[in-house]
Structures are given as structure tokens and as C-alpha cells.
Chain A
Amino acid sequence: MATATTASPLQRAQARLAYWLVAPATLLILLIYIVPIAMVIAASLTDYTLVSDYFEFVGLDNYRRMATDDQFGNALHNTFVFAVMFLPAAFVVSLVLAIAIQERKQFRSILEVLYFLPVTSTLAAMALVWAALLDSRQGVINGVIAALGLPPLNFLGSQDLVLFSLALISLWSTIGFNMVLFLAGLTAIPKNLYEAAAIDGADHPLDRFFKVTWPMLGPTAMFVAITTSITAFKLFDVVAIVTRGGPDKASEVYLYLAFLEGFEYFNMGYSAALSLVFLLLILVFAIIQAVVVDRRVHY
């Protein structure tokens, strides 16, 4: 402490107390976040496998492997295809729902609960329900499609459709949460801005949206966009339960590959490297949020 020479005994006692008070939290953060990350960094530099205690340091070999690994390329591709379908829908659908529900007087709370319900359910269990609904032969959804006189769709068994189906399930589980975020953002917009807009002549729904709602929703929209992006990139549980990466690796997404490498193929070192790259990706989003949101979207 630079000020130790000038600090009074009281100040020094308070400083000591401060360290004691933050100690429990510091310990927990170290145990839960910092130490595991450090261990993953260490593991990513080795050829450690789950089946053998023997390992040696291989430097950046695991990272070099990614550049040439077809599985990695495939997983990256699948993740981005999924994100491209899922992200805009998760954003736009929940925003439209939020605005529609916000303007309702009756049934507002009932609708809010209904849309939020999927968020409270256990996705692992619900994924099984969706697998049953989307089944190519006995699934209810194909029953409806057949009743309409259309050919059945193999939602989970077709390489072209499986990512779409996963996006659909993820959408179902996310829009309620995003909608509640948007609703909170909408509620925070002062009502008299709309009144001022009405007097200024901006009473067309499009004007109301573009002149008031959308700009005022900036911080919320940014937050939803970032969290939804992270949700998209960490898609795992539905894949693990419903498709197991199939058919023919068509739904093998980033985190599922990291899981396969680590716990199915026992390549812990490579898996750790994959996880770290994923962590960096998430970090980039977090930084974007911190920088852009703080600088541009606040007034």
C-alpha cells in the first residue's frame, strides 16, 4: 500500500477489514471461474486424454489442428447456419410479440405468462417432447401437414431440415424471455413521448415505431441481441438430446463438437482448446456490448 506510511491506524484497520470482507467472494470467484479457466488453458496446451494419466505439453498443436480439422469447419458452419436462422427470428418475433402484447389491455398478463412458460420449463425434457412432435412418422406436426395434403417432412432426419428444426425448438424456448426483456424496455418509454409525437404529427404506427419506440428501445435491443447471439452459439442441450449431432454430423454444432472431442473421443486437450476459442468468441460479444452499449445507445 503506497499510502501506508501516511495512513492513520483507523484507515489501516478499515483497509484490512475491507480485504476480509471481499475475501469470501474472491475465493468463490477464484474457485469457480479463474482456476478452472487456468486449468483449461493449461490442458489445451497438452495432449491429455481421459483414458490415460500420461500427457505431455504439445504447445499450440491443438490450435493448429483446428485450422485443418474438417469436423471443426463443419461444426463452425453448422453453428453459423443455425445462428443465421435463429438470431433474426428470436429478435424480431419477440419484439413484435412484445409490442402487440404491450398494446393490449385485456389478457395482457395471461399472454405474458403463456409466452414465458417455455422459459421456465426444463429444456431437456421439452426437447424430448419436441422430438416426438417433429417425428417423421408419428409426429403430430407431420400429421397436420399430411391433413393439409402436403408431403411429410423429415424434420430431424433430413440434413437440410435438421438445423431449421433445431432453430424452431430454440426459438420456442427463447422468445418468451426476449419478449419479457422487450416488454420491460417498452414499459420504460415515457408515454408522453408518444403524445408529443402525436401532436407533432407522428401518429402513424410506422412513425411511432421508428421515431420513438425503436430509438428508445436501443439499450434493450442491444442487450437482447447480445444475449441471443450467445444463446445461439452455445446451442448444446437440444442437439445432445434430440439429434446427437446427426444425421451424418449435419447438426454437429460448436459446443457439441467440443463435448464429443472431450468425452466421446477422449481428446481432452483438443476439447479444451475448442472451449477456449469459444470463450474468446463470447468475450468478443461481451466487449461489443460493454463498449457499444455504453457509448452509443445511452443518452
Chain B
Amino acid sequence: MAKLSLNGICKSFGKTAILKDISLDIEDGEFVSLVGQSGCGKSTLLRVIAGLETPDSGEIRIDGARVNDAAPKHRNIAMVFQDYALYPHMSVAENMGMPLIMARLPLHARLPLLRHLAPAHARERPGIQRDVAEVARKLRIEHLLDRRPAQLSGGQRQRVALGRALVRDPKIFLMDEPLSNLDAKLRVQVRREISELHASSGLTFVYVTHDQVEAMTMSSRVALMQGGSILQMGAPNTLYGNPDTVDVARFIGSPEINILPGTLEDGVVRCGEIVLPIAPAAGGGLRSGPVQVGVRPEHMVLETVPELAYPARAGRGLSLTFRKQTIEDLGGEVLVHGRLDGHPEHDVRIRAQKSEAYGCGGSLSEARDWEVRVNPAHILLFDAGGMRLRAEPVLADDHAEPAALQGGLRKKLDLV
């Protein structure tokens, strides 16, 4: 268990700056995901924490102690690599025993031939075997101990890699995209196992992934990285519901948020012809200028069956005309692509229950116009530069029923 803090970490390879002044604090026992597109520096940041890369400047502290100059083995960390990096010539037991052999045996007792003369070798071996067997039992891979990595399936290799990391009893657990080599079904299962491992071990986890779903489901906090900086760090729901920038809003949430151009004039937000029922919060700064309006696909609600879809009644919220173009059938849900009136050049996505889509009448493949409703509380407003503008619903009467908000919230939870 350990607290990890980074302060002003910079790292460049040649002239390319990979990490730009990264500072973050990770509390004892937290599960923090570093998420971002490839090349955003998340893996490099993890490698800096591990000690595989030396930062050009900045400080790494584990439990308050500066570890910049400490070798990886002295940082009391464990790391699971993307392709597991198991030693192919060693059995599972030998792979998992490696950190213990290194920690418990002196150099001469580790060398080939010579080690048979070393008393430490004979003395420590049973203890190492016992500890390996115990971790193997915990991970349910005891029956694999004599196999080579090549004889294992992807999921089993993943467990062995976890075992090799666990056996050394680390303070901090680092994982570099550990699920990316697994098939979709196994990914969901291992995702849960890692969450359980985190819960039962109480260790500090730092988890790198490009998959926002992984980050959202497993983490206590998510740090979204882009271009070597952390855009926003916070609880998954904060990043989803309250993004600081349009980039965060675009990255978090699947399918991607709909962004439409708009204008702000004297506190009145227009999107195309429509005046949006929101206004920048008092003291928000910007009163006029171009803005970006964001609505998540799951927050655009098909109008025809209001009692099923949305508690708000006609005349409340924002009603839009949507021209359906294509439909992706996701099983229980559908993802509908189309255009909004007044925005012929922007693809707009709506995510809805299949029953709702059928409830709109006609066959799904038929092109026709739908009425779509948006709760103003779900509209995210950004300035032209992509920074979030705090906005509040402006309504003549009281529309922000608690039920409506909760309905929206439940949908969020369904998603994450």
C-alpha cells in the first residue's frame, strides 16, 4: 500500500516532448487509470513510475520518499506488460518465482552451475516454491505451474503475469494495457477479476488503457491524457457528466458525444435556428461568440413514447427534428445516425432502446423524421477553444424535476 505522487514530470525523446509537466497524486489504495489515445504519453508515464524511463525533470515520490534514482526493483512496484513479457523458456512456476529468486538469493546462488554449490539456493528454494504455490492457488493456476507460456491460452498467460507481479508483494501495481490481447468476452471477465484483485489486495493500482470503457468501469479515478498532458483527472462519472473540455467529452462516452456549432449572443445560446433553453452561468465570462454544443447520443430521447423514454412532457426541454439515415442494431439497443434540422453537414448519433425506436412507428430501415427531445441539464456548452462553459437551464416554469435528472442518471450508469 502506498501513496504515489508525481510532480512536474517532463520527458522528451530527442526533440519530441512526450510528457509535459505532469503532476498527480494517487492515494493509498486507489485505482487510477491513465487513459488516452495511442501516443498521448500514458505508457511512458507508467514506465517513468516503474523506473524503466528516467524523467528529464520532475519528482517521483512513493510514500513521500523520492525514488527518481531508485532502480525498478527498489521501488517496490510490480508491473504487468501489455504482452505479458513472460520468460518463454521458463515454466509458469519459474516465471512466478523469478522476483523471489532475485530478492532472496545472492548473485552467486543465482548463476548456472555455481548455484548448486550455494547453501542459500537449497535453503530458500522450498520457501520460494511455497509462496509461488500460494499465489497460484489464489489465481487458480496451480494446475499450470509446470507448463511453459507457449502452452497457455491468452487468459492463462494474463493470470501468470498477474501472479508474477503479485508474488513479490508490491506496494504499487502497474498495468500497461493488460487486456488488449484478450478477446472481447475474456476481457470483460478479466476486467472483473482485476477489480476484485484490487478490492481484496487493497493495493494502489495504476492502469494504462486506451479503452475508456475499461477506465470507466474499473477506476476510482481516471486521468485522461492527450499530447503529453493530463486534460482532466477525476472520478469516472465526473469525466462523463462534467467534462472540462470538449476533448474530454469526446473521449469519454461511447458512442461519441454529438458536437454542433452554435453561437452565444448576450447570454442567449443558439444552435442553428433554435434558441437553446440554457444560459451561461453568472460570472462565466464569455457572453458572446461562437460556441460548441454537446449532447450525448444517449441523452437524445425519441419523442413518440414520452412516458417510456423520458419523464419530461411536451413543451419542456428541447424538441428537435431528426432525419434518420442509418441504424446500427446493437441487440437490445440501436444506434441511429442522421441529421438534425438546420445542421445538414453534421452526423448526429442517437442511442436508444430498440423498443423506443420501434415505438416511433414504421420500420427501422424506413427514412423518416423523428422528434427528439433533450433535457437542457444534459446539454454541455464549450467555447470555440473547447473549454467548458458552465451553463444552467433557463425555463419559464420549473422543469428540472428530480425524476427527470434521476432518469438521466440511471442511463449514465447503464452506460458505464
Interface residues, chain A, CB within 8 Å of chain B?
190, 192-193, 195-204, 206-207, 210-212, 215-216, 218, 299
Contact = CB atoms under 8 A, between A and B. Distances in A.
B17 interface: no
A196 B90 CA distance: 14
Interface in B64-118: 71-73, 77-79, 81, 83, 85-90, 98-99, 102-103, 107, 110-112
B112 A196 contact: no
Given A206-B111, A210-B112, A299-B150, A196 B73 contact: no
B104 to A, nearest CB: 10
Contacts of B159: none
Interface in B152-188: 164, 168
Contact of B81 (A196, A202, A210): A196
A201 B103 contact: yes
A201 B73 CA distance: 5
B148 interface: yes
A199 B167 CA distance: 13
A210 B111 contact: yes
A224 B88 CA distance: 21
Contacts of A206: 107, 111
Main secondary structure of the interface of A (DSSP, over half): helix
Contacts of B98: 197, 200-202, 211
A206 to B, nearest CB: 6
B50 interface: yes
A145 B89 CA distance: 47
Contacts of B99: 199-201
15 contacts: A192-B81, A193-B87, A195-B79, A195-B85, A196-B79, A198-B73, A199-B50, A199-B72, A206-B107, A207-B107, A210-B111, A211-B98, A215-B89, A215-B90, A218-B89
A211 B71 CA distance: 18
A283 B173 CA distance: 53
B308 interface: no
Contact of A200 (B83, B102, B148, B149): B102
Interface string B238-250: 0000000000000
Interface in B337-393: none
A196 B85 contact: yes
A218 B89 CA distance: 10
A211 B87 contact: yes
Nearest to B81: A192
A206 B115 CA distance: 13
Contact of B164 (A200, A215, A216): A200
B79 A199 contact: yes
Give the residue among A192, A198, A200 with the most B Cβ atoms within 10 A: A200
Contact of B85 (A190, A201, A204): A190
B274 interface: no
A198 B53 CA distance: 12
A220 to B, nearest CB: 13
Contacts of B110: 207, 210
Contacts of A199: 50-52, 72-73, 77-79, 99
A216 B89 contact: yes
Given A193-B87, A202-B102, A215-B87, 12 more contacts: A193-B85, A195-B47, A195-B81, A196-B85, A198-B52, A198-B71, A199-B77, A202-B98, A203-B71, A207-B110, A299-B89, A299-B150
A210 B81 CA distance: 21
Nearest to A215: B89
A195 B78 CA distance: 11
A204 B73 CA distance: 11
A41 B36 CA distance: 70
Interface string B32-72: 00000000000000010011100000000000000000011
Interface centre among A201, A202, A203, A211 (most CB of B within 10 A): A201
A299 B148 contact: yes
B357 to A, nearest CB: 46
A128 to B, nearest CB: 43
Contact of A203 (B47, B72, B88, B149): B72
B46 to A, nearest CB: 11
Contacts of B71: 198, 203
A207 B110 CA distance: 8
Contacts of B79: 195-196, 199
Contacts of B90: 215
Contacts of B86: 196
Contacts of B85: 190, 192-193, 195-196
B72 A198 contact: yes
B117 to A, nearest CB: 16
Nearest to B150: A299
A87 B148 CA distance: 32
